[in-house]
A and B are shown apart, each in its own frame.
Chain A
């Protein structure tokens, strides 16, 4: 994981991922460039996944904390 992976926002990663996929699907680029794009796409997809997994964990944790009676319920 590079520094960028942890600082880039979900929206940035998502937008760039969409662009990468569009470029790859449109074709007409050199093999070297498409491989680089694909690697970039994989990394961006991982970043997005980590964001979503993290958000889900936080949501689940908050739900679990709420269901535990906290004494003054």
Chain B
């Protein structure tokens, strides 16, 4: 819905009063509205009929001036002060005398604690339904962060508690500290800036959001919707450590780890060096023993195997065989002996028989054996030899040769 651009030119400019009137008319078109905000500043001049307030958005760096009559201001119970959460019925006004804009309020109401808590409860349900508290979205902070981002109040007990407890456990711990307002109207924007800066720093492995105890109102920034969403959007794991054990601002539900107090955060953000040393020592000892046992076991096994007869006394392999050979040799010898004895007896028998058949005895009685000398044929018939043939005549005591005469036939 573009309004036609008013026609002006260097030759036909509008005087200030015209512009001022037009702006005033534009602004007046908003009419009366109810505005929710936080009182950031109150300025009352003695004797003046008007009170000037600065009304700030609790989640963003935006504010408006508000003016109201002293009566309106004073009708508030409890009295308005800086930090009060209010709902204002107002109408924007352009003060032409200075060219400034302010809200003219005719009613200022405190937002009571009950109402604030009811709002928080609604916000909590909405964020939970959106999944900002989901356990599966929680990231596990590193076991040993390189640098711990710490967002906390300037020179606060919370800062000291986190630093002292973390340093006691891990002396080498490094911090990147961003001090911010932790209550009041500036808190949320400052915390958002600090978070964003630390989240961007690649050295920062975890961010601790720490604040000491305070009233429910003091802790309100840590239930702020914008802050909750910023913590949820952080890529770096965030630990929340707000107030005391019993305080549970909404950021506690969004944070990756909820610490009950800043002291608790100091303890949880780094490991305990002494404890870690002890654990490492213990594991080293067990490692040693395990390897030692293993080695001893293997050495025993090897010694046992080496002492087995087949390895320790290989000569047993040989002596067994040698006995075998000796036994066989004995058996062979015994067998051969029997054979020889038997053969000797046999020979004697045969000799006796031979002897008994020998013609010697007959020859001793005077007989002779005549043989043809040429071939040793024993002669039984005179026809077997021709006259003149050589003969051998065997007698008992020896032999002689003879020649055949003419036959008698």
A-side residues, CB < 8 A to B, are 10, 14, 17-18, 21, 24-25, 31, 34-35, 38, 41-42, 45, 48-49, 52, 55-56, 59, 63, 66
Contact = CB atoms under 8 A, between A and B. Distances in A.
Interface stretch (B192-200, B263-271, B295-303): B295-303
B311 A45 contact: yes
Nearest to B318: A31
A56 B310 CA distance: 27
A56 B311 CA distance: 24
Interface residues of B, number: 17
B288 to A, nearest CB: 7
B288 A24 contact: no
B310 A52 contact: no
14 contacts: A14-B298, A14-B301, A17-B305, A21-B311, A24-B310, A31-B317, A31-B321, A35-B314, A35-B317, A38-B310, A38-B311, A45-B302, A45-B305, A55-B291
B338 interface: no
B311 A34 contact: no
B29 interface: no
A21 B302 contact: no
Contact of B311 (A14, A41, A66): A41
A42 B301 CA distance: 15
Given A38-B311, A63-B288, A52 B295 contact: yes
B314 A38 contact: yes
Given A31-B317, A35-B317, A49-B302, A59 B292 contact: yes
B306 interface: yes
B311 A55 contact: no
A48 B302 contact: yes
A70 to B, nearest CB: 14
Nearest to B310: A24
B387 to A, nearest CB: 79
A45 B306 contact: yes
Contacts of A17: 305
A48 B306 CA distance: 11
B353 interface: no
B310 A21 contact: yes
Nearest to A53: B299
B308 interface: yes
Interface in B77-101: none
Interface string B269-305: 0000000000000001000100110010011011001
A52 B302 contact: yes
Contacts of B299: 52
A25 B295 contact: no
List of 10 A-B pairs having minimum Cβ-Cβ separation, nearest first: A24-B310, A38-B314, A48-B302, A45-B306, A41-B311, A52-B299, A25-B310, A34-B317, A55-B295, A52-B298
Nearest to A13: B302
A56 B314 CA distance: 29
A21 B317 contact: no
